[in-house]
Structure 1
């Protein structure tokens, strides 16, 4: 059995039900749909690995070439929000099987992608495409990646909340815009590049940045889900003065 969202519904009964139901239709959440979508996006698959490898590779290229465009592109391509949203749903619903599946995707995906980026950086050095000492000079354009600060967690938490809102509200365009501001994938790429170039301190800073980003997204996404659960519990059970079920009211014939 499959359920599809209709593009257009012309129905007097449906319009009456919407008018009588409490709240706004845009705020309605189909929890089964959210849980199903996050469960599917949390699986360790070849497509997930491919997207994450490409994203971290783009970030690494952006770092060694000082290309902000490549770094932003890596943020857009990165598929890491699927497992992170899955962890948030798992924590709120106590679905530990989903938590294990999402943790496996992240725990395998990031090391594999970072390993590929490290190998590509080493090959680039051997071919003379990258100056091994370019990180010694410092670069203000990428310094924020390996210098986590007080706002690192907050900057990750806000897009995490926006991402979960876009997921439960079925607004994918917002999800893309939100994660352009998160340095999850760039931080992973910087760890790989810095380790190959012999910069353990900068690698540790970017690793901390990565950890703060992951934690911020999970915490804020979980908070959004808990907030909506609280709203649902406080919502009155009756939807109109006629009946608890608006479809039982007989509408006048046209």
Structure 2
């Protein structure tokens, strides 16, 4: 179940209450007149099945509640109530398959911000992968893959393509390209520093590396793995199963490929640089393609299921224009 908390202008409260009462999948309605101070208004709360969330939030936005008041949604780990059980049964479709597009857009927007923290995580991950490459240590490679935050912008691009959100697409693309560019420069400097300290040398980069040589040898298998990881990662975001996202992070060699490109470039091995770059681009492309197709499929299947069940879109009771 999801918990919905609204701040509603007093003259709109009755419409909102009528909307919540008439929506299948809601329970535990509470109205607190005059409880809100900033912005001023009434507080209206209820629980709702996840399957009812997307269209109900859309109807509230059409009433202008996001502009004149506030809409807050949070997940509930445990709800013991026969009313909640009935709401889950009455809601259209299976809550496990429901996608809250507002929640997804908010999550990917937050993860797609080009910030100091984001660049720091990506740079540290790439430097860890560089150590793994030079030492031919797969444990370090896996650790670097788990640290890398690049799936956020990739999911943001997929979400933006499906939702036709150019601002999110631009923000995600900038975070992805700018972040990797910064990480590559920092890692190249790191390799130079380690070489100057005698901890790295060219022979380490040139010797056979049976455990990590796959990083700069792209093939169709790499693309297939990236595609499958993109599907799993997108499903983990839309179903709020964050544990699966960790498995995605350690299955695709985006960060190690970038690290190997930086190492090879530092030592003038341009064949490895090109191979690593191709691996990186193939993986990024596979994830974005998989994420976009997965979201389109989820959106289409959900709409078809609702049509078969005969559920009409949720609309505000009066059908009036949003009031701000």
TM-score (norm 1): 0.91
TM-score (norm 2): 0.72
Which residue of the other structure, out of 110, 128, 134, is the alignment partner of 2:198? 128
Give the aligned partner of residue 136 of structure 2.
66
Which residue of the other structure, out of 164, 167, 173, is the alignment partner of 1:103? 173
Q: Distance in 1 between matches of 2:199 and 2:115?
A: 32
Local SS of the residue matching 1:3 = strand
Moved over 6 A (4+): none
What is the CA-CA distance between 1:128 and the residue it aligns to? 1.3
Render the CA deviation track for 1:40-70: whole Å, top value 9, x for unaligned. 1111111111110111011011111222111
Higher alpha-carbon deviation: 5-14 or 147-156: 5-14
What is the CA-CA distance between 1:164 and the residue it aligns to? 0.4
What pairs with 1:109-120 in structure 2 (closer than 5 Å)?
A: 109-120=179-190
Local SS of the residue matching 2:219 = coil
User: Does 1:234 find its partner at 2:304?
Assistant: yes
Q: Distance in 1 between matches of 2:248 and 2:174?
A: 24
Which residue of the other structure, out of 199, 212, 224, is the alignment partner of 1:154? 224
Compare the two structures and name the one with the higher strand fraction.
2
Q: Distance in 2 between matches of 1:176 and 1:89?
A: 20
User: Does 1:38 find its partner at 2:108?
Assistant: yes
Q: Distance in 1 between matches of 2:259 and 2:307?
A: 50
What is the CA-CA distance between 1:7 and the residue it aligns to? 2.3
Give the aligned partner of residue 252 of structure 1.
none
What is the CA-CA distance between 1:188 and the residue it aligns to? 0.4
Give the aligned partner of residue 76 of structure 1.
146
Which residue of the other structure, out of 204, 208, 215, is the alignment partner of 2:278? 208
What is the CA-CA distance between 1:143 and the residue it aligns to? 1.0
What is the CA-CA distance between 1:12 and the residue it aligns to? 2.2
Q: Distance in 2 between matches of 1:80 and 1:157?
A: 15
- What count of residue pairs does the alignment treat as equivalent? 244
Gaps of 5+ in 1: 246-254
Give the aligned partner of residue 193 of structure 1.
263
Render the CA deviation track for 1:151-203: whole Å, top value 9, x for unaligned. 11111010111000000000111000122110000000000000111110011
Give the aligned partner of residue 11 of structure 1.
81
What is the CA-CA distance between 1:244 and the residue it aligns to? 9.3
Q: Is the 8 A contact 1:58 1:70 kept in 2?
A: yes
Give the aligned partner of residue 53 of structure 1.
123
User: Does 1:141 find its partner at 2:217?
Assistant: no
Gaps of 5+ in 2: 1-69, 315-324
Local SS of the residue matching 2:136 = coil
Q: Is the 8 A contact 2:93 2:306 kept in 1?
A: no
CA RMSD between the two structures: 1.9
